[in-house]
Amino acid sequence: LRADLAITRRRLRIAAAEGRRCGPGRGGLEGGDSASPPLPPPLVRLVGAVDGVADEVVLTRGEGEGEGEESWALRTVVVEVKSRVRRIARPPALHDQLQAVAYSLMLRAEAAHLVQTLGEEMDVSPVELHGPPMWHAANFEAHVLPRLRAFAAAVQAMRADVAARVSYLCGDDRWRDRLLRERGCGFLVK
């Protein structure tokens, strides 16, 4: 597994250095067309490591002619482990669920298992991407990504404009709130 991950990381670095998109038919890991347009520089980089990826056996119901027939299938799940110091959160904190969702979407997994440990105690919470109650994949796309993009763009704009950065850092709370709203980050204002 470590060798496979090292090869995948190397291929991703090479594809990113060449400005190629990674994924099926995108000129990335699977080869693909070299005519893919180069990607713009990323707004953010997620740094970290997935604790685990596993195949899970699930019971499925057939569709179509044999509708209602049950069968077994494998699906890929991400395993994210949190070692707690004080208590196990039931349900897990939303930010922990979002981390598992981000990893699952990047790895094209269908679900995640959020494992929390506290001493000898352990709790495993499933995080479904495409089902109730949270519909994580759709909500991640609709709510998390637009805000992440807005925040990253605002940070880049502030870093590029010394006067704006100084104005923000030296301003009072009302001034900072105004600047955040102007840059599309009103969701950060209390």
Q: What is the pLDDT of residue 24?
A: 43
| pLDDT tens by residue, the chain, 190 residues | 566 666 666 767 777 776 665 544 444 444 445 566 776 777 777 788 899 999 999 998 876 565 668 899 999 999 999 999 999 999 999 999 999 999 999 999 999 999 999 999 999 999 999 999 999 999 999 999 999 999 999 999 999 999 999 999 999 999 999 999 999 999 999 8
153: left (phi over 0), alpha (psi -120 to 50) or beta: alpha
Coil/strand/helix, residue 135: coil
Q: Helix 145-160 crosses helix 162-170 at what angle (to 10 degrees)?
A: 110
Q: What is the pLDDT of residue 28?
A: 40
